[in-house]
Structure 1
Amino acid sequence: MSGLTLVARDKAKSIGTSLLAREQAWLVSGAILLATFALDPVQGIESALFTAGNLIDVAPFLVLSIGLAAFAGASGADGLIARAFTGSPAIMILLAAAAGGLSPFCSCGVIPLIAALLSMGVPLSAVMAFWLASPVMDPSMFVLTSGVLGLDFAIAKTLAAIGLGLFGGAAVALFTKAGSFSSILREGVGNGGCGGGKVRTVQPIVWRFWTDRSRLSKFSREGLKAALFLAKWLTLAFLLESLMLAYVPANLIAGALGGTGLAPIATATLVGVPAYLNGYAALPLVSGLVDQGMAPGAGLAFLVAGGVTSLPAAIAVWALVNRTVFALYIGLALAGSFISGVLYQLWCIL
């Protein structure tokens, strides 16, 4: 075999391996859907419709955040945005946590915005504060929580959201100061850094970027890349969520959260991480368990942990950031949710 043939074969093999690595989410989603159709055709149809419906629901957030990120990169405004986060870390974390606690993003809907902020070079401490606080509470969730679980519980959940953001942002700031993060985003996602890349390099801003062919090309290229990346991982996440809804009985979750004391709060925190219920669907379950004697603190811990790190959100985060940041995200969510539950339980007792 000639040397030229060997080179061509090795190159083809390398391209195939790279393509397989890049498209593994689509391949896994396709395999799961085919297996579901083969074993349970009715559920296969329901899972396909569920996945498509959720992608449509989250599409406005995807389009908005991807468009803003692509616009910022093409116009050069990303550096301006990043430099806005170079003030006092404490103030940035406080503002991010407060904004997150009032924003109308779900745990999956916030992912595209987080990707955009990190790609712009916004410091991880401020982003993490927003990231942890945002999925827990929003205006409509506050109203519904007040109606189902009472105003006191809704206020406690809002304070838990902001407190979790502050806790996470402060922890990340300390780790960052100690030099723990040399990179944030996974390879190929973007330049997250620690806010350095975009802040240090001052680029001219061209708001009418479409008048520059190279900038217009960058807008299209970056927008398409981000859209495909987020779409494939969210598709897998929603597909898995549909199967959990179908095959994991709700009474199994309910049984694990009963009782009083610290143990149920810890259990609720752990169960809440992979919980398949969205924030709205979980409210009636928690209300029923509280009526049956479950500690209110356990209910709060379940809702907070589930809102931040439900399985669909965790999969999207896994695809977005490196393993160290992912582990920190899970750890902060667990610790913050447990602490929120304990503090609320103490408040109820006092």
Structure 2
Amino acid sequence: MADTSLTQHRSSVAVLWRVHRVWVVSAALLVGVTLVSPAQGAASLQFTLTAILQTAPFLLMSIAIAAYAAATGADNLIAKAFSGAPVVMVVIASLVGALSPFCSCGVIPLIAALLVMGVPLSAVMAFWLASPVMDPSMFALTAGVLGVEFAIAKTVAAVGLGLLGGYVTLFLMRAGALTNPLRPGIGNGGCGGASVRAPKPVVWRFWTDADRRTRFGREALSTTLFLGKWLTLAFILESLMLAYVPAETVTRLLGGDGVLTVVVAALVGVPAYLNGYAALPLVGGLMDQGMAAGAGLAFLVAGGVSSLPAAIAVWALARPPVFVLYLGLALGGSVLAGLLFGAVA
């Protein structure tokens, strides 16, 4: 009986940790900093609250967009991106990946469904590369944290990365490479693929349907909690970074628009990336300390496409040649985007 109770207790603790670990880490950081330096603890708390209030309008816009997309079923628009000639499919898939929301199950299962269904790898790669970088909700929050110009540049980078990846893949496919891209035993993508296998009509006036109104409220609450916890952690980390990381160090490593600076930012973005929303305040803080705009864009794009969790998922899904191509396109495209933005910013 004692062993059973202990097992249940450990299981409950594990569940609580999995659900609330970001809040726990945020609280632990504030408490730890306050114990070491009460003045810095108070400053970090004030900084975090002020930052959240300043981004609140964009945060609310982001939440509303995500909830509206879920309630209307806008993820079903994905199916339209994967029909027609491969050259045209790459363009549409890049645009859809960068500008439209998709199933919350994540892009990896959806990619599996598309490939199993026989969609050309070129179009799938375009969507694969563009989708993690930007969507309407992310655009609203990026504009609030880093400015409209940066948000537009990130959107252009997402579309450009999709086009680059799609056409490079198409060229390799026509040369006879990249046949059978999936590892053996990969399934059909679950709910991520449902919107592609059997697309349903989008109901833009969702408020006329009780179930869709419920879905809107549920998605709004879920998105609020998700963004709230990650932005809180990100703003705490930004406050500590501004307090303890010398600005001259950031300027030396990531200042300027040289190729090496952008390459370093892209490489650092892969392991350092938390998620798309949490990364925004961190990049904002780095740019305040001297990080170049091009390096900041490279950091966000590289981290979004090829963060460690995403890379591990791709490795589990695709055969090694496809995985290597994916990483090469992600990093190379990120560096190119950073250099171009640095040249015009």
TM-score class normalised by the smaller sequence: 0.5 to 0.7
The secondary structure found in structure 1 opposite 2:82 is: coil
Match of 2:90 in 1: 90
Return the alpha-carbon distance in structure 1 between the equivalents of residues 202 and 334 of structure 2.
41
Return the alpha-carbon distance in structure 2 between the equivalents of residues 233 and 277 of structure 1.
11
- Residue 216 of structure 1 deviates from its aligned partner by 3.6
- TM score, norm. by length of structure 2: 0.60
Deviations 1:78-117 (A, max 9, x none): 35433343345312245358x77xxxxxxxxx9xx67869
Return the alpha-carbon distance in structure 1 between the equivalents of residues 24 and 195 of structure 2.
34
Share of identical aligned residues, percent?
A: 34
The secondary structure found in structure 2 opposite 1:236 is: helix
- Checking the alignment, whether the CA contact within 8 Å between 2:82 and 2:93 is kept in structure 1 is no
Matched, 1:234 2:231: yes
Match of 1:200 in 2: 197
Return the alpha-carbon distance in structure 2 between the equivalents of residues 79 and 161 of structure 1.
18
Structure 1's unaligned 5+ residue stretches are 101-109, 145-153, 186-190, 287-298
The secondary structure found in structure 2 opposite 1:237 is: helix
The secondary structure found in structure 2 opposite 1:23 is: helix
Structure 2's unaligned 5+ residue stretches are 115-123, 273-278, 317-322
Match of 2:130 in 1: 129
Match of 1:34 in 2: 31
Aligned residue pairs total 299
- Residue 28 of structure 1 deviates from its aligned partner by 0.7
Return the alpha-carbon distance in structure 2 between the equivalents of residues 163 and 220 of structure 1.
34
- Checking the alignment, whether the CA contact within 8 Å between 1:282 and 1:303 is kept in structure 2 is yes
Match of 1:179 in 2: 182
Match of 1:305 in 2: 298
Matched, 1:167 2:137: no
Tell me the amino acid that sits aligned with residue 324 of structure 1: A
Q: Tell which deviates more after alignment, 28-37 or 198-207.
A: 198-207
Deviations 1:270-316 (A, max 9, x none): 46775976469738936xxxxxxxxxxxx565243245367xx79xx
The secondary structure found in structure 1 opposite 2:290 is: helix
- Residue 197 of structure 1 deviates from its aligned partner by 1.6
Return the alpha-carbon distance in structure 2 between the equivalents of residues 23 and 176 of structure 1.
42
- Residue 35 of structure 1 deviates from its aligned partner by 0.6
- Residue 70 of structure 1 deviates from its aligned partner by 3.2
Match of 1:45 in 2: 42
Return the alpha-carbon distance in structure 2 between the equivalents of residues 57 and 38 of structure 1.
28
Match of 2:21 in 1: 24
Return the alpha-carbon distance in structure 1 between the equivalents of residues 8 and 81 of structure 2.
43
Compared CA separation, residues 32 and 330, structure 1 to 2 (3 A): farther
- Checking the alignment, whether the CA contact within 8 Å between 2:266 and 2:331 is kept in structure 1 is yes
- Residue 171 of structure 1 deviates from its aligned partner by 7.3
Tell me the amino acid that sits aligned with residue 78 of structure 2: A
Matched, 1:223 2:210: no
1:107-118 residue pairs with structure 2 within 5 A? 118=106
Compared CA separation, residues 30 and 278, structure 1 to 2 (3 A): same
Compared CA separation, residues 114 and 300, structure 1 to 2 (3 A): farther
Matched, 1:70 2:59: no
- TM score, norm. by length of structure 1: 0.60
Compared CA separation, residues 271 and 246, structure 1 to 2 (3 A): farther
Return the alpha-carbon distance in structure 1 between the equivalents of residues 9 and 331 of structure 2.
44
RMSD: 5.4
